Structure 1
Amino acid sequence: MAAALGTSPTIVEYFEGEDFYRCGYCKNETGSRSNGMWAHSMTVQDYQALIDRGWRRSGKYVYKPVMNQTCCPQYTIRCRPLHFQPSKSHKKVLKKMFKFLSKGEFSRGNNEEEPMDSQMDDAAVDDFVLKSKLDIQSDHRPLSEDYNEVVESEVKEKEENLETKETKELNQSHAKREKLGSGEPSRSVKVVPSAPKPGKGADLSKPPCRKAKDIRKERKRQKLILKSQTDKLEGSQIQHEPQSLPSEKPKLNQPKSVEDFIFDTLPEDAAHQLEFTRFLCSSPLEAENPPEGPDCGYGSFHQQYWLDGKIIAVGVIDVLPYCVSSVYLYYDPDYSFLSLGVYSALREIAFTRQLHEKTFQLSYYYMGFYIHSCPKMRYKGQYRPSDLLCPETYVWVPIEQCLSALESSKYCRFNQDTKAVDEERIKELDQLRVLYKRTVMPYNIYKKRQKGPSDEAIVQQYADLVGQTCSERMLLFRS
């Protein structure tokens, strides 16, 4: 995809591999290492190519961990939203938000502070990095590890309401069977319930407990019976009525999509209103709005979350040619009980699917870095299906195929083809573009004009990291 006319070219200053520094994940004082460059300007096409080679931006600073040397290797992870189905934990967060908005009800439970991603760059980029509360993606928001328990009371209440009628009937039937153990008619049996002796079994004065699993099985059986009866009735009607075009019947037990939860209609008397605004924000990425692109265009955007007129969270995303890349999210800690990190990630997945409807190639959601060696950072792997980027050949591999290897070694080459190499590895520097004394020139011309010691080793390192396409398209600033 060529850069749009009128956009500024990418101009970067490359910083030679830094010394080891303190890791924001394992706190090793000399465990982390990365390469970086400052982006004076950058096209969305070039940034897309860079993140597909393991780079990541924090503001205008773009960095790439030295994967085989850093203590906590950071693997680029992307979700495939077109096939995404929310997990049980995700659904609980979405239901919790809906319940809070519609009825004003919430349960703080044992809500602990969610995992943070801000440490990722604390040492790596020092002054360049945004040192704020970040959550989900590797420059992102907190995702609560214990949100499974946050809505426990809600689930329990729902199950009790659902089982009331049929449980009562089944329990009565069960009690009758217990009474008929001698084979006598039920009318001739008189049972006087009494409290059991300690350790002598269940209290017969109370109905027997039923497991939630059994209740679900019973409900499913009832639905199948109802469906069978409905199908028979429709079949009978078809025999006596004129033929018409078939209409699609609603599918029973079809999983709800993330949109079904997010865009569920609130009641007119909803306790709260949650609104969203989106607008371009300051970024090294050059905003573009080509005819074939999404309605919002490409670039960096703020997404504001407004609750009853009060802003409670702000997310930053990059809309790129092939993906929505989540940068970070910061929020009001008073509303952490809503698991805003998880909720915003699910909304961004839904937004990616929405953009895909017009821009077919935009079909991925990038979540920053997956760090398997840091247990609290593994939550990103729960957004499936997802892929990890091979740090040597830069091909995407399903995360399920990577996990066993990561259990054995922090650093892994995911591509199992031993003959595969980095197809973008530059073979010669002659065509690499350089910005020198306000003049754009290929590297072979720059070498002739360069004064002082040769910088070829540094330039070669830069070219290897960005790849041939970017090296011939971006401008490397040399002073």
Structure 2
Amino acid sequence: MASVVEYQGPRRGYRCGYCGCPEGKACSGMWAHSMTVQDYQDLIDRGWRRSGKYVYKPVMNQTCCPQYTIRCRPLHFQPSKSHKKVLKKMFKFLSKGEFSKGNNEEEPMDSQMDNAVMDDFVLKSKLDIHSDHRPLGEGYNEVIENEVEKKEEKLEDKKTKELNQSHAQKEKLGSGEPSSSVKVVASAPKPGKGADLSKPPCRKAKDIRKERKRQKLILKSQTDKLEGFQVQHEPQLLPSEKPKLNQRKNIEDFIFDILPEDAAHRLEFTRFLCTSPLEMENPPNGPDYGYGSFHQQYWLDGKIIAVGVIDVLPYCVSSVYLYYDPDYSFLSLGVYSALREIAFTRQLHEKTSQLSYYYMGFYIHSCPKMRYKGQYRPSDLLCPETYVWVPIEQCLPALESSKYCRFNQDAKAVDEERIKELDRLRVLYKRTIMPYNVYKKRQKGPSDEAIVQQYADLVGQTCSERMLLFRS
């Protein structure tokens, strides 16, 4: 089975759904009558993306809001604080039925697709949401104090607060005024009344934490100096024997946490094939469900509340859309479904080792509400000129200066899939498959070599030789 595509060329000067510019968007597109999963994998690794059967690629150096393909590396993924908050909120809702509908923002429309097909795909993107994630300037591996220290700080804060309240209460009572009104008296209190000036003033919790941290650094420095001596005289534990204190939870620990038997709600998942140009494939060494496009249905107490559309490809799970019941937007279903799909990718990797990435569509740095995708880390952005993956941390400084950037720092690097022999491109013409050089001889009317060359440059040498370009 070969992919059959009909290239429709570039389209410029129409409204952008990200910045609102009436004539700023530019992209090339083609209609996929059918497509193999390997061809689509290779295409998205060159910046293409599908919307139904329409496959499109932004003209990166011309469009008003350049859209960079982004992928997450699930095998090294650790949920951020905001991700954990969403997962804990879902678990609390399922186990106890508790939730808060306040301060929940509606997920914005994914306007990445070509306007010509927008009316047919009025869908919510599972990832395009307003988010409370950290600013992009912060690194993924933020400095997080361990749980023991957090508990100590909370206790210290509580004690400090109680002590300050105690002093304030004494001042209230000593002044003879009601507790609802407090005056600040400049003169020293009479003996037996007010704060005891013979004792040091109360310290702020912030100052206490700083002092504790300084003491820990001093202690660590002293320990490091003695480390060599200790290694010589103390037996070392094997890696498997080392105690796992304050070990960070991974995403499965949150998502697959066991609900109590009397849980208030039950959330279930089912998976079905869905209509797509991708041809279903089920090789012996592939995933249990095979490769192709799937609906992941989210059932709450027997009622369907969301449907995620994903493409399972040879090297990745690609997120497409999420439909959801707006009555359940308080559960942050966009973020929750993305985290579940990351966990799903990790599960698929256990059987199919080459499947190890999660593609999130496009990252648009020029659109602030779209930057949150960069918080699913570690992640990479695709260089729009050489089509190599670059860690997002290395890309952000350049994107702060310019909307369009080449991420590959090697000035001599080129697109390895650039067209070398156009004549080897395959064409489907009058129900006959032929190489382009044969098609040219049979072609009637004006030459279409310029548009065919453009198509070949965009899809690359390998795909041009494997896919069939339909010509009428």
Give the alignment's TM-score, normalised by structure 2.
Answer: 0.81
Aligned: 1:470 with 2:455: no
> Contact between 1:193 and 1:204, CA under 8 Å: does it hold in 2?
no
Aligned: 1:10 with 2:3: yes
Match of 2:183 in 1: 198
The alpha-carbon distance between structure 1 residues 11 and 96, as it changes in their structure 2 partners (threshold 3 A), is: same
Return the alpha-carbon distance in structure 2 between the equivalents of residues 388 and 435 of structure 1: 34
Aligned: 1:419 with 2:412: yes
Q: Which structure 2 residues correspond to residues 149-228 of structure 1 after superposition, within 5 A?
A: 197-199=182-184, 210=205, 214=209
Question: Would you identify which runs of 4 or more consecutive aligned residues in structure 1 move more than 6 Å?
Answer: 161-165, 172-175, 191-194
- 1:461 aligns with one of 454, 460, 463: 454
The alpha-carbon distance between structure 1 residues 162 and 307, as it changes in their structure 2 partners (threshold 3 A), is: farther
Question: C-alpha offsets along residues 249-273 of structure 1, whole Å, 9 cap, x if unaligned?
Answer: 6511111101000000111110110
1:415 counterpart SS class: coil
Return the alpha-carbon distance in structure 1 between the equivalents of residues 367 and 159 of structure 2: 48
The alpha-carbon distance between structure 1 residues 393 and 199, as it changes in their structure 2 partners (threshold 3 A), is: farther
Aligned: 1:308 with 2:293: no
Match of 1:133 in 2: 124
Match of 1:238 in 2: none
Return the alpha-carbon distance in structure 1 between the equivalents of residues 365 and 239 of structure 2: 50
Please report how far the alpha carbon of residue 292 of structure 1 lies from its aligned counterpart in structure 2 after TM superposition: 1.2
Return the alpha-carbon distance in structure 2 between the equivalents of residues 66 and 381 of structure 1: 21
Return the alpha-carbon distance in structure 2 between the equivalents of residues 170 and 126 of structure 1: 58
Match of 1:352 in 2: 345
Please report how far the alpha carbon of residue 18 of structure 1 lies from its aligned counterpart in structure 2 after TM superposition: 1.6
Return the alpha-carbon distance in structure 2 between the equivalents of residues 247 and 411 of structure 1: 48
> Contact between 2:125 and 2:320, CA under 8 Å: does it hold in 1?
no
Return the alpha-carbon distance in structure 2 between the equivalents of residues 61 and 204 of structure 1: 75
Return the alpha-carbon distance in structure 2 between the equivalents of residues 165 and 57 of structure 1: 49
Match of 1:260 in 2: 253
Please report how far the alpha carbon of residue 169 of structure 1 lies from its aligned counterpart in structure 2 after TM superposition: 9.8
Question: C-alpha offsets along residues 371-420 of structure 1, whole Å, 9 cap, x if unaligned?
Answer: 00000000100000000000000000000111111111111111111111
Match of 1:289 in 2: 282
- 1:143 aligns with one of 117, 125, 129: 129
Match of 2:438 in 1: 445
Return the alpha-carbon distance in structure 2 between the equivalents of residues 16 and 459 of structure 1: 9
> Contact between 2:283 and 2:290, CA under 8 Å: does it hold in 1?
yes
The alpha-carbon distance between structure 1 residues 101 and 249, as it changes in their structure 2 partners (threshold 3 A), is: farther
Match of 1:228 in 2: none
Please report how far the alpha carbon of residue 19 of structure 1 lies from its aligned counterpart in structure 2 after TM superposition: 3.0
Return the alpha-carbon distance in structure 1 between the equivalents of residues 311 and 463 of structure 2: 19
- 2:57 aligns with one of 64, 76, 79: 64
- In structure 2, what residue type is equivalent to 1:27? G
Return the alpha-carbon distance in structure 2 between the equivalents of residues 53 and 246 of structure 1: 42
Aligned: 1:85 with 2:85: no
- In structure 1, what residue type is equivalent to 2:448? D
Return the alpha-carbon distance in structure 2 between the equivalents of residues 346 and 446 of structure 1: 48
- 1:368 aligns with one of 361, 370, 377: 361
Question: C-alpha offsets along residues 226-281 of structure 1, whole Å, 9 cap, x if unaligned?
Answer: xxxxxxxxxxxxxxxxxxx9974651111110100000011111011000001111
Unmatched 5+ stretches in structure 1: 1-7, 137-141, 149-157, 179-190, 222-244
Match of 1:327 in 2: 320
Match of 1:103 in 2: 96
Question: C-alpha offsets along residues 146-173 of structure 1, whole Å, 9 cap, x if unaligned?
Answer: 489xxxxxxxxx99x9679956995699
Deviation larger for 247-256 or 51-60: 247-256
- In structure 2, what residue type is equivalent to 1:120? Q
Question: C-alpha offsets along residues 275-297 of structure 1, whole Å, 9 cap, x if unaligned?
Answer: 00011111100011101111111
Match of 1:48 in 2: 41
- 1:400 aligns with one of 351, 369, 393: 393
> Contact between 2:9 and 2:29, CA under 8 Å: does it hold in 1?
yes
- In structure 2, what residue type is equivalent to 1:131? V
> Contact between 1:112 and 1:146, CA under 8 Å: does it hold in 2?
no
Aligned: 1:33 with 2:54: no
Please report how far the alpha carbon of residue 214 of structure 1 lies from its aligned counterpart in structure 2 after TM superposition: 4.8
Return the alpha-carbon distance in structure 1 between the equivalents of residues 87 and 413 of structure 2: 42
Give the alignment's TM-score, normalised by structure 1.
Answer: 0.80
Q: Which structure 2 residues correspond to residues 385-396 of structure 1 after superposition, within 5 A?
A: 385-396=378-389
2:71 counterpart SS class: strand
Identity rate, percent: 77
Return the alpha-carbon distance in structure 2 between the equivalents of residues 198 and 314 of structure 1: 60
> Contact between 2:10 and 2:27, CA under 8 Å: does it hold in 1?
yes
Return the alpha-carbon distance in structure 2 between the equivalents of residues 14 and 451 of structure 1: 19
Q: How many residues align?
A: 420
Return the alpha-carbon distance in structure 2 between the equivalents of residues 44 and 213 of structure 1: 58
